[in-house]
Structure 1
Amino acid sequence: MAQKSEIEWTDATWNPVTGCTKIGPGCDNCYAERFAERWRGIEGHPYEQGFDMRLWPSRLGQPALWKKPRMIFVNSMSDLFHKDVPREFIDCVFEAMESADWHVYQVLTKRSSLMRNYVRHRYGGGRVPTHIWLGVSVEDAAHKGRIEHLRQINSDARFISFEPLLGPIGVVDLTGIAWAIVGGESGPGARPMEAAWATALRIACEQYEVAFFFKQWGGARPKSGGRLLEGEEWNGFPWPIVPKSIIAELA
């Protein structure tokens, strides 16, 4: 079953794929790898293979069993668009999301061009269903190209996770983006985030009318530095694209 999540911007996680490989500096201190490797070699544990990639066909039907509408972070322990995930399995994941359409699915990737290409093929240039939110992770200015790939997807629910934010993003075009999440790194060896980097993104979101969510400062633990930016909590959410069924559950 999907698991209740402590991540502030979602309700639950669903992992039809687990395991991944590093693709950029944002992966250096991967929380998912750190968690999974704790269990390597423990027979019968879901992570007995550590952070090696594994497909879980048995989990594909889980969203349909969860009757209350929820926001579901898809593959919090992997990347659905990793090159080693077969297209046929990605098809199965999308079919599950399309079928159990009373949920919102938040799909986040660093492999932005592969996501763009897959979505174009699947929907033939048509619009992605509004309950399937597609996002990219951007950790620094060198990886802003992922935003352009995201913008090339025909969707009303594009979002960006600037987490862990490892450097200034600089001038950024947020046209067509619905939501931005900003956060610092947490865990052993966490690299600090400067306030100016986060504030610059908040101002950019204001300029482009993008919902802004400040998740954390980070540190040894996710909550070490709290959630205040400029003395305030920023809990922006793209409410115009949230289905009424979800809003009713949150009321």
Structure 2
Amino acid sequence: MGDKTAIEWCDRTWNAWMGCQRTSEACRFCYAESWANRYGVVQWGATADRRRTAPTNWRKPAKWQATPWLACRMCGWRGPERDAGVCWTCPQCESTRYTERTRQRIFVNSLSDFFEDRPELTPWREEAIQIMLDCDELDFLLLTKRPENINRLLDDIIASGSDAGIELEVAMLQNAGRLPANWWVGTTVENQHYAEKRIPELLAVPAQTRFLSMEPLLGPVDLAPWLDELMPGHTWRDCLCGRIDPADRPCVTCGAHGIHWVIVGGESSHYARPMDADWARWIHA
């Protein structure tokens, strides 16, 4: 589980536990629920138990951290370094000039929601946080449909005085009050309603990198209200809006408080609802 993945925006998946319950329209044809039903691994829903994965799975991040990773800026390929100390060649486009060391992106709990608020998940979440703190050479992608829970659940862990809570508090103090730099925090936004509901909650999280997963994209979404609030009267380079400042300066405001990455895609299911390509073009423009 997790060593390889077909999810294009991450390198691996790491599931500390499995199981969830539907919370919005994006969950109607949830791939994780379909997978669980097909293989009978875990039940879904509010009354079902969540299932902790095997100890070998919990040890995987430490193993992955010891694996050097490469990325090709020419074609986008990402993968393990195969020949240490040898000229790096992209196996996909055979480029050597644009292949360089990078950090692995680990999608945490692709078969559950890391910030689902259930009492039995508290100790598991603490253990997972300890692993993410220890493996600071990996980037952990924490995607949730419950961004309103993030600050409260993390504050509870800090207040508990556990080893993970103490280390998290120290890490945040060392990072100017923000979460560890290798924690990328994101939320799902499938339509305008959930953009208006979830994006403000995500922006309240003191993360160094925030992202949106707009898949499945079920309707047009206007992100301008949050862009205008973050950047009144300014245009910048390398920002969500894609506009350019005359002095070619990176967006200082957005870099501290904004949304840094947007994933857009349709639904993957035998019952997939159609996505209009113009909805994606509108977001990109």
Using structure 2 for the length normalisation, give the TM-score: 0.64
Question: Which amino acid in 2 is paired with 1:187?
Answer: S
User: Are residue 166 (structure 1) and residue 218 (structure 2) matched?
Assistant: yes
- Hey, what does 1:197 align to over in structure 2? 279
Question: Which amino acid in 2 is paired with 1:201?
Answer: I
Q: Contact between 1:128 and 1:154, CA under 8 Å: does it hold in 2?
A: yes
State the SS of the aligned residue for 1:4.
coil
State the SS of the aligned residue for 2:39.
coil
Deviations 1:59-84 (A, max 9, x none): 33321122115211101111111122
Deviations 1:164-189 (A, max 9, x none): 00011134414411100001111111
User: Are residue 106 (structure 1) and residue 141 (structure 2) matched?
Assistant: yes
Larger radius of gyration: 2
Deviations 1:63-121 (A, max 9, x none): 11221152111011111111225222211111101101111111100011111322455
Rounded Cα–Cα distance in structure 2 between residues aligned with 1:108 and 1:116: 14
Q: Offset of 1:2 from its aligned partner?
A: 3.5
Rounded Cα–Cα distance in structure 2 between residues aligned with 1:117 and 1:29: 29
State the SS of the aligned residue for 1:197.
helix
User: Are residue 128 (structure 1) and residue 179 (structure 2) matched?
Assistant: yes
Q: How many pairs are equivalent? A: 196
Question: Which amino acid in 2 is paired with 1:68?
Answer: T
Compared CA separation, residues 119 and 158, structure 1 to 2 (3 A): farther
Give unmatched runs, 5+ long, in structure 1: 41-46, 204-251
- Hey, what does 1:142 align to over in structure 2? 193
Q: Contact between 2:143 and 2:185, CA under 8 Å: does it hold in 1?
A: yes
* 1:35-184 alignment, distance < 5 Å: 35-40=35-40, 47=41, 49-51=42-44, 52=48, 53-56=50-53, 58=55, 59-66=57-64, 67-68=66-67, 70-84=104-118, 86-121=121-156, 122=158, 126-144=177-195, 145-172=197-224, 173-174=226-227, 175=230, 176-184=258-266
Q: Bigger shift: 124-133 or 52-61?
A: 52-61
Using structure 1 for the length normalisation, give the TM-score: 0.72
Q: Offset of 1:50 from its aligned partner?
A: 4.5
Question: Which amino acid in 1 is paired with 2:53?
Answer: W
State the SS of the aligned residue for 1:133.
strand
Give unmatched runs, 5+ long, in structure 2: 69-103, 159-167, 231-257
RMSD of Structure 2 on Structure 1 (CA): 1.9
Q: Offset of 1:57 from its aligned partner?
A: 6.3
Rounded Cα–Cα distance in structure 1 between residues aligned with 2:178 and 2:154: 9
